[in-house]
């Protein structure tokens, strides 16, 4: 094999290796209260409360933004988030956040964390 062919093969191998690493497979991971305390609280993350504005006003986790998953503007709101960075979601008990997580995944978000216990778990005294 000539030097040009070797160089072309090496270049192809390098490009292939980088392309495989840069394309992360989208995932939804269920997380618990301990994970939220460790990875979210006090950190610069995308934390989204998908409950209603009234529920949000009654209490929310850290600096969460409120994007109501049942609102017709929800898809437009999530488009303001960075799809390449982790997004942490929660609702009251896990149902709406699960639906929101699937919606985010379908819109191209790659790292989605769903706090399954939700605000009910967060605000409980345990």
Beta pairing, strands 27-31 & 46-49: unpaired
Dihedrals phi, psi of 60, to nearest 5 degrees: -150, 170
| 20 in catalytic set | no
Report residue 34 CA to chain centroid gap: 17
Structure tokens at 50: 């998908």
Q: Considering 69, 91, 100, 112, which one is annotated as catalytic?
A: 91
Question: In 10 A of CB 52, how many CB atoms?
Answer: 17
**Could you list the active site residues?**
91
């Amino acid at each position: 094999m000539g030097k040009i062919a070797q160089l072309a093969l090496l270049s192809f191998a390098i490009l292939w290796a980088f392309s495989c690493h840069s394309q992360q497979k989208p995932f939804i991971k269920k997380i618990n209260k301990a994970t939220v305390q460790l990875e979210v609280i006090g950190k610069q993350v995308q934390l989204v409360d998908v409950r209603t504005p009234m529920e949000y006003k009654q209490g929310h986790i850290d600096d969460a933004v409120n994007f109501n998953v049942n609102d017709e503007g929800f898809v437009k709101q999530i488009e303001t988030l960075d799809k390449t960075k982790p997004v942490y979601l929660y609702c009251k008990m896990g149902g709406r956040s699960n639906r929101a997580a699937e919606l985010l995944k379908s819109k191209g978000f790659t790292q989605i964390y769903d706090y399954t216990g939700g605000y009910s778990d967060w605000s409980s005294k345990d």
